[in-house]
């Protein structure tokens, strides 16, 4: 049996700048990605004739995740097969632990994990070219396909500068009782801006060398667009700030918010405003390796 297993780690965005839309309708971004220990478990088999993806686990919504062909992990495997001519079939199993529609990159993490798993099994690995293959799948997927736990990204996420990783810190993620679709978040952001002229903002890598430096520049452009629509988001951020988080902000395009805390502390007792779910995790200083069984 030819099988690969890997943990698909969630991410947070310590900085997220959204630039003006291009003629194609897509937005370029400037962002700082950082992986978390929170992860889905992904298994990929290539000794099969068909192409399937099966998702289970506590983070799968009651309504499911839709047709297999729209699943990012399935699309990633199909893209790998189209680019390399291998494999002809695949079976993907995902144990979902990362909340869906929360801005934590769960679908992208699964896609990146599938690309890395296939590359570990492939007769002719793509190596560093995985990020190029990942780019059309979504802005988070290239980062999820590389072996760096932290990176600065531009464009549509395909231009990546791996960064020296920060010392792991405890993180509290608060997930409100509603998801936010990325497409909707971008639409609301565009509507809130009107005629928008992007500011000349440059993220200096040296500002990302320490948690103190990151705290000084941490920001998310979606914040102003989403807080007026979802009062709960502002309440959750304020809850984390009052609990002592050095950084408390929206993750990606939402709906989850996260707090990064100094030192060791018992975040399980943090609590949360009514209706939100607390997930306790840590920032990660490594990318979990693929376990390949040929």
Which residues are tagged catalytic? 11, 140
CB-based contact 74:115 (threshold 8 Å): no
CB-based contact 20:190 (threshold 8 Å): no
- Could you tell me the two tokens for 146? 């590389």
Closest CA to 111 of 67, 74, 148: 74
- Could you tell me the two tokens for 72? 């990012």
Q: Taking the C-alpha atoms of 137, 138, 143 and 144 in order, what is their torsion angle to the nearest 10 degrees?
A: -60
C-beta atoms surrounding 196 within 10 Å: 13
15: Cα separation from own chain's centroid: 13
Helix axes 106-121, 72-84, angle to 10 degrees: 30
Closest CA to 77 of 125, 117, 48: 117
C-beta atoms surrounding 193 within 10 Å: 16
How large is the greatest C-alpha to C-alpha distance in the chain, in angstroms?
56
- Could you tell me the two tokens for 32? 């700082």
Q: Is the dihedral of CA 15, 28, 236, 37 positive or negative?
A: negative
Closest CA to 247 of 212, 279, 275: 212
Distance (Å, whole) CA 234 – CA 250 = 9
Q: What is the three-class DSSP state of 78?
A: helix
């Amino acid at each position: 049996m030819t099988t690969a297993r890997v943990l698909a780690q969630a991410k947070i965005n310590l900085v997220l700048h959204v630039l003006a839309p291009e003629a194609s309708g897509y937005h370029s971004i400037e962002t700082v990605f950082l992986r978390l220990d929170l992860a889905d478990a992904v298994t990929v088999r290539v000794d099969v004739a068909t192409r399937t993806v099966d998702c289970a686990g506590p983070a799968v919504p009651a309504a499911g995740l839709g047709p297999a062909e729209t699943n990012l992990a399935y699309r990633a495997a199909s893209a790998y097969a189209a680019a390399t001519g291998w494999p002809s079939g695949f079976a993907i199993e995902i144990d979902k632990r990362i909340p869906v529609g929360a801005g934590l990159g769960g679908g992208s993490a699964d896609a990146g994990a599938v690309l890395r798993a296939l590359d570990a099994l492939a007769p002719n690995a793509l190596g560093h070219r995985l990020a190029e293959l990942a780019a059309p799948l979504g802005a988070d997927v290239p980062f999820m396909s590389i072996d760096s736990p932290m990176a600065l990204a531009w464009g549509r996420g395909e231009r990546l500068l791996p960064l020296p990783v920060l010392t792991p810190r405890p993180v509290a993620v608060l997930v409100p009782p509603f998801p936010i679709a990325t497409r909707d978040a971008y639409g609301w952001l565009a509507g809130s801006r009107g005629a928008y002229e992007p500011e000349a903002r440059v993220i200096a890598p040296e500002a990302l060398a320490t948690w103190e430096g990151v705290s000084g520049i941490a920001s998310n452009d979606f914040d102003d667009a989403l807080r007026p629509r979802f009062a709960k988001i502002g309440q959750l951020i304020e809850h984390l700030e009052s609990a002592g988080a050095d950084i408390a902000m929206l993750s990606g395009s939402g709906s989850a918010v996260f707090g990064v805390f100094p030192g060791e502390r018992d975040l399980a007792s943090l609590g949360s405003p009514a209706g939100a779910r607390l997930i306790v995790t840590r920032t990660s200083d490594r990318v979990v390796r693929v376990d390949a069984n040929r």
